Amino acid sequence: MIAHGRGAAFMETSEGVTASGVFWRMGDWTVATGVDEAHSAAGSGERSARAGALRRRRSAGRAWARDLVTSRLGAVWAGFAADAPGRKPRLLGDARIDVSIAHSASTLLVAVVAEGLVGADVEEEPFDVFDRVALIRRMCSADEQVRLERLPRTARRRALARAWTIKEATLKARGTGLSKDPRRVPTDALDRAIDDTASGPERAIVHFTVSGGCVVSFPARDDSSPDDELT
Amino acid sequence: MNTQTDAIESWLVERVVAYGKVDSGSFTPDTPLAELGLDSVYALTLCGDIEDEFDLDVDPTIVWDHPTIRELAGGLSERLAAA
């Protein structure tokens, strides 16, 4: 664990590796870049402040990706390929290496893998967007909507946030993003209420392995990605 | 810009403010949607809202193809005219 020690308002930056070999780093990108996100979007010059914050967030994500690729995978850094709007970043150099960068509010999650395809997603609390019927209809299949109705109302936001991160990470791993319908990505995240002691952002990493498997991990939450493997 | 595109633009501004990521008056129709907090989950939410409001089935990639409110209003207006 890499602790920044700036108090409870700031998420510690943590690293780990999933059971299938995806290295990840998660934390507060505003701490990493010295940006106060809340302040950056207030007052005069709000537009340029927002644009500047987006640039710094992008830089932080790419810096973390570079660091993970070189320090954890031991690969030579060749840089990023040109951007494609709405698609995940691609690396130059070793084509076997894949990377995914996700963010929500001030939380940044970066995942890299030596082989296979990886997708990461994170959603910060309070998950209020998941109260919106229009979103539920567009992200959940008819069957998933039935299962959602069976959950206690108080458990639905987090369950939907988890389902979304799995669906989004899956589509990012495939490299399609939302050009493919998330309703067609099945998840069991709506089958039961998530432990109500769960707190913090919902996050998921999906790894399509070279052997054809699909491994879903929840960084810093499940047993497959212990921080202490790296520290 | 025609009346319909104006109305769609106003409606889009209202939706973006309703999502709670930015205050009204802090952006213009030419501000990139990405700067307004419209990430993938909100892009999909907006698609659902467009479907409800205009009975128009759109893909979230419309936000990448039309990256500002002004451009998106124009794109939706064209689709409605063609529907």
The residue type at A43? G
**What is the C-alpha separation between A57 and A37, in angstroms, rounded?**
10
Domains in chain B and their CATH numbers? 3-82 (1.10.1200.10)
Instruction: With beta carbons under 8 A apart, name residues in chain B contacting A129.
Output: 19, 41-42, 45
pLDDT of res. A169:
97
The pLDDT of residue A111 is above 60 = yes
Domain regions of chain A by residue span: 14-222
- The interface predicted TM-score (ipTM) is 0.92
Which of A104, A123, A134 shows the shortest C-beta gap to B49? A134
Kindly report the average pLDDT of chain A as a whole number.
86
Q: What is the distance in angstroms between the Cα of B40 and the nearest Cα belonging to chain A?
A: 7
The residue type at A53? A
pLDDT of res. A7:
32
Using the Cβ of A42 and the Cβ atoms of chain B, whether some distance falls under 8 Å is answered with no
Kindly report the average pLDDT of chain B as a whole number.
93
pLDDT-derived band of residue A231, with 50, 70 and 90 as boundaries?
very low
Determine contact, residues A215/A206, Cβ cutoff 8 Å.
yes
Pairing relationship of beta strands A98-104 and A107-113 according to DSSP bridges: antiparallel
pLDDT-derived band of residue A195, with 50, 70 and 90 as boundaries?
confident
Note the pLDDT tens digit of each residue in A196-223: 677 899 999 999 999 999 999 999 876 4
- B44: alpha, beta or left, given left = phi > 0 and alpha = psi -120 to 50? alpha
Note the pLDDT tens digit of each residue in A16-45: 999 999 999 999 988 866 665 544 544 457
Count CB neighbours of A81 within 10 A.
Answer: 11
Interface test with A, best of B16, B17, B41, B52 (most A CBs within 10 A): B41
